[in-house]
Structures are given as C-alpha cells and as structure tokens.
Amino acid sequence: MKKIVVFASGSGTNAENIIKYFKSGTIGEVVGIFTNNANAKVIERAKNNAVPVEIFTKTELYESDLLQKINTIQPDLIVLAGFLLKFPDAIIEAYPDKIINIHPALLPKYGGKGMYGMHVHKAIVENKERETGITIHYVNENYDEGATIFQKQVTVLGTDTPEVVAEKIHELEQKYFPAVIEDLLKAKS
C-alpha cells in the first residue's frame, strides 16, 4: 500500500476528499496530515477520518525535525492541498518528483507568492479571463513553477463573481485531484 502524506493550512476539504477517496482503495492511503495552523479545520477532518495529524510551526517547517518525521513515514507521495507556506528545499531534495501541489488557476498564469485562494479568483475576474482551471504540478524550489502534471479548464462567464469562480474551481479539485494522485501512484508502482 502506497503511503500519502498531505500538507494543508486551512479548511481541508481537498485533504478530506483525498482521505475518503483512498479509504477503500487498493493502491494507497493517507497516513498523515501535516499542518502549520493549529486552528485549521483540516485537523478535525483528519481526526474524524482516523488520520494522524502533525502540527508544526513555520520555524519547525524549515528545521530538520520535520524532515525526520517525514522520513520516519517514508511516504510515496507528499501532497500539498491548500498549503500556503513555501516548501523547504531540504524536503524537496529528499523527495524528488514525489511532492505535488494543486493550484487554483492555469499555470503559469496567476501563480507565485501571494497567489492563492480568493486572491487568484479575484484577479481572474478583474482581468476578465474567459477561462480558468486547476493545475496539478510537481513542487520545486520556486512557487508554482514545478513541471505540470495535469490541467483542467472551466469557462468564466462575464457575470461570474470571484465566489462563483471559487465554486467552479472547487468542483474541479474535488473531481480530479484524487484521480491524478491515484494515477501517479500507479505509475510509481
């Protein structure tokens, strides 16, 4: 059984969706949720699904202790699902091509530091984009610049608010993120 570790900073809807997707699966399972936010709703979601949680500070993220905890698990894939901090180079180097992220836009557009969640959706509406989507990509040392694994588009109507765009993106994330993770795990078998 392949081991998945999920990093999340917020509500954890994507993390919970991934946990549930792999609950009855045969290829992998979520063996841990890591969060930098002691008040994140993802903690409750993980506990409700009997998944261990590791809470850490921003300082601890960049120290070797967190890498050692990850090494103890030996995950086959590290998934960033709404994780807002820059991922440490030491962990990226230790797990090459085993760390992925989901971004709520079609990269390379609307990526980089500070471009997450509603910030992205507002920019898309303000710039009158006709489409947006999700990008699942490998994580490297730069925000949102790792190699693209998967993209899926959705139409943006002239009447769409950032909140409507957020709903459309959330639907894409829920539908495609777990399936792409499963495909990656199968490819690594």
Q: Which residues are annotated as a binding site for (6R)-10-formyltetrahydrofolate?
A: 101
Question: Residue 34: which of 59, 52, 18 has the closest Cα?
Answer: 52
Q: Which residues are catalytic?
A: 103
Main-chain phi, psi angles of 186, to 5 degrees = -65, -40
Quick one: residue 12, left, alpha or beta (phi over 0 = left, psi -120 to 50 = alpha)?
Answer: left
Residue stretches of the annotated binding site: 12-14, 101
| d(C-alpha 34, C-alpha 7), whole Å | 5
